[in-house]
Structure 1
Amino acid sequence: MRPILYLFIFLLGTLSFAQGNKAFEQANTLYNEGNYTEALNRYTSILEEGEHSAELYYNIANAHYKLNHIAPSIYYYEKALLLKPNDKDILNNIAFAKNMTIDDIEVVPEVGFSRLIKKATNIMVFDKWAKVSVVLVILFVLLFLVYYFSQSTSKKRFTFITSLSFLILALIALSFAFNSYGLEKKNQPAIVFAQESQIKSEPNLRSTEAFKLHEGTKVQVVDTVSNWKKIKLADGKMGWILNDDIKLLKDF
């Protein structure tokens, strides 16, 4: 009975995949014909069915861009970048989309030792650093066993130094893994969707206005209080924005 059930599930999954591909192709055809509104509706329906891919987000962003929807186009380009960070087509198109935004925010570059640590940490993602640390620990254990049971003085010296080196590298990789995890957890990007949003100095409507932001601007969410989110800009400015004025990029 179980093999029949597995076969049924497999066939159902294959059918759903085929239907999804057909819908995606139909949406692409509409887009190529210049029917951007209908293409967007088709892409969105695929998304609502639970399909998520860089290609789908990229095409949704393209349709929004053609319709001059500033915030949604940047939002979906950014979501595509989360799945394909170095894709040249996405990077090229998002640059065009960002030219439509009003806010001109100067990026303050990181300097010093913290910049070097962050750059080194970002060489790999958290899980890869964790795997590297596990491999290095295994190598340390194996070499230490060779050192322990070896009778040769020269071999003992070599395996001891090498195993100690692997242990140090394992600890470094582990620290990078934890640092990468921390950076990823803190990284909560969002896009402003309100045409114009008043950024407050405190999380309430009675507080003074710190500055204004407009649709399409990318921010970092650093805190949440009730229906307010504390945001940080690339230039270091901080303030409070209403939840409804932004959309988090990591909501899949």
Structure 2
Amino acid sequence: MRNKSSFKQNITLYSMVFMLFCLVFSSVQSQSAAQYFEKGNAAYEAENYQDAIDKYSRVLELKQESAALYYNLANANYKLNRIAPSIYNYERALQLKPGDADIKSNLVFAQNMTIDAITPLPQNTFSKWYKSILNLFTIDGWATAAVVFTMLFMGCFLVYFFVYSTAQKRLFFTATCLSFFLGLSALFFAFRSQSQTNENNIAIVFSPTVEVRQEPKMSSEEAFVLHEGTKVRILSVREEWSEIQLADGKEGWIPKTDIKAL
């Protein structure tokens, strides 16, 4: 019979082997994803857009994602005039990299291919300013900024107590207050970004044409018609139906299979 010490040593050994296996598997998976990504880029350059889409999709199957991947996948679909997949992937890329000008520009080109002309509800100047700041970074970006400004605040606060010059004290006191304010602001935007992600359950219409109903049943009266590529917000879900809202405020019910959530 093995003693306790030997048993614990074996458990530790097995744990180390398992962790090593996980690291090796993760490394191999990442390398495979990178290879498929490069093959997708090569196929895109050769104008083999469907092959590029297949390669990029393999990367997603390996549970790897990035703004560049979604951007390239959207470009390949755009080249094949696939409206919904291109808009969907541009939106996914924009979620990971909100301030990217190329993604925003290409998204506009893709949206111009849609049939539905939806005029968003008017926003005041403050709302536009607020959203423009909020969309500068992702949730992780704002969280990182909060950590950086917090560390800067602590550093300036410590230096403030160790300097003797009046001018230097004023300088570091100002820097302390500024970094504290910026840290709180970054933390606020991080929470608001997370809240907005939870509230704005956005989806893209994938069916060429779909009739939106006033109630969640096929026998209900038609409210309006949507076409491929239109962006909607999911308000609620009931069995096989999703209650949606358009940017102009219109609401209705649509079959879940006709849309794809971001």
Do both proteins adopt the same fold according to a TM-score greater than 0.5, normalized to the shorter chain?
Answer: yes
The equivalent of 2:166 in structure 1 is: none
Matched, 1:237 2:237: no
* Equivalent residue in structure 2 for 1:184, among 191, 194, 197: 197
Structure 1 residue 246 displacement after superposition: 0.4
Aligned partner letter, 1:235:
D
Q: Distance in 2 between matches of 1:60 and 1:168?
A: 40
Q: Distance in 2 between matches of 1:89 and 1:174?
A: 27
Q: For 1:92-131, list aligned pairs within 5 A.
A: 92-111=105-124, 127=143
Q: Is the 8 A contact 2:77 2:83 kept in 1?
A: yes
Residues 11 and 238 of structure 1, relative CA distance in 2, 3 Å threshold: same
Q: Distance in 1 between matches of 2:261 and 2:242?
A: 11
Matched, 1:85 2:85: no
Find the residue that maps to 1:183 and give its secondary structure: helix
Q: Distance in 1 between matches of 2:66 and 2:137?
A: 21
Residues 117 and 43 of structure 1, relative CA distance in 2, 3 Å threshold: closer
Q: For 1:1-252, list aligned pairs within 5 A.
A: 1=13, 7-111=20-124, 127=143, 179-249=192-262
Aligned partner letter, 1:201:
Q
- Long gaps (5+) in structure 1: 147-162
Q: Is the 8 A contact 2:145 2:183 kept in 1?
A: no
Structure 1 residue 88 displacement after superposition: 2.0
Q: Distance in 2 between matches of 1:169 and 1:14?
A: 38
Residues 135 and 71 of structure 1, relative CA distance in 2, 3 Å threshold: same
Q: Is the 8 A contact 1:199 1:213 kept in 2?
A: yes
Structure 1 residue 218 displacement after superposition: 0.7
- Kindly report the root-mean-square deviation, in angstroms, between the aligned alpha carbons of the 2 structures: 3.9
Residues 164 and 226 of structure 1, relative CA distance in 2, 3 Å threshold: same
The equivalent of 1:152 in structure 2 is: none
Find the residue that maps to 2:65 and give its secondary structure: coil
Deviates more, 1:115-124 or 1:189-198: 115-124
Structure 1 residue 45 displacement after superposition: 1.6
**TM-score normalised over the length of structure 1:** 0.75
Q: Is the 8 A contact 1:218 1:233 kept in 2?
A: yes
Q: Distance in 1 between matches of 2:235 and 2:225?
A: 18
Q: Distance in 2 between matches of 1:28 and 1:167?
A: 44
Residues 112 and 8 of structure 1, relative CA distance in 2, 3 Å threshold: closer
Aligned length: 246
Residues 207 and 8 of structure 1, relative CA distance in 2, 3 Å threshold: closer
Query: 1:225-244 CA distances to partner (integer Å, 9 max, x unpaired)?
Result: 22111111111111111111
Deviates more, 1:194-203 or 1:12-21: 12-21
Q: Distance in 1 between matches of 2:187 and 2:130?
A: 13
Q: Distance in 1 between matches of 2:131 and 2:65?
A: 29
